[in-house]
Structure 1
Amino acid sequence: MSQFPPRAFIRMAAEREASERPPTLTHSNERESEMGLRFLSLRDVLDRLTISRSLLYELIKDPVQPFPAPIHIGRRSVWVENEVESYMRAVLSTARR
């Protein structure tokens, strides 16, 4: 038998903690921590933006509106999903003006 409790018990404990906490107003950072951050791989970012890899790295170096830089986890480079989406919203808002 494993030394770790089954996932069902972990989930029940987390739900019990959440129900015991008093309700509070959530800010965007708290909402992100509750929902959990999601990392995107290079392929995921390229698929969302529908651009080439070379253009992505040019956008990262752009002095006017730089694309968020990747986070390095070991040998992998990943991007935070919320940062990518906020960049896309910013580009859209400037294009629609």
Structure 2
Amino acid sequence: MTALFQQLPIQPAQPYMIYYDSLSTVKMTENSGKHERTKHIEVDWHFTRDQVNAGKLKVQHISTTLQLDGPFTKALPVHTFVELISKLNMKAIHA
């Protein structure tokens, strides 16, 4: 996204936000220390942590029930499913 915005030329007013439903993952992006349990983490997590430390990216926790991708990625209770797809202007024809 940064490369695209630089070509347009658009500068974001604040860091890009990523919302994630795993509180431990959010904490790992904030913690710059290396731990025994994190030595096998993929390179993209280290890149993300570096971007957070540089102030270019912010990772924030969000409840699983509030993530709009939920209906596409996991089984949800019917009321949660209907609520989330309605926020996407979709309609559950079988719910």
Alignment TM-score, normalising by the size of structure 2: 0.27
Bigger helix fraction:
1
Larger radius of gyration: 1
**Which of 1 and 2 has higher RCO (CA within 8 Å, sep 6+)?**
2
Q: TM-score, normalised by structure 1?
A: 0.27
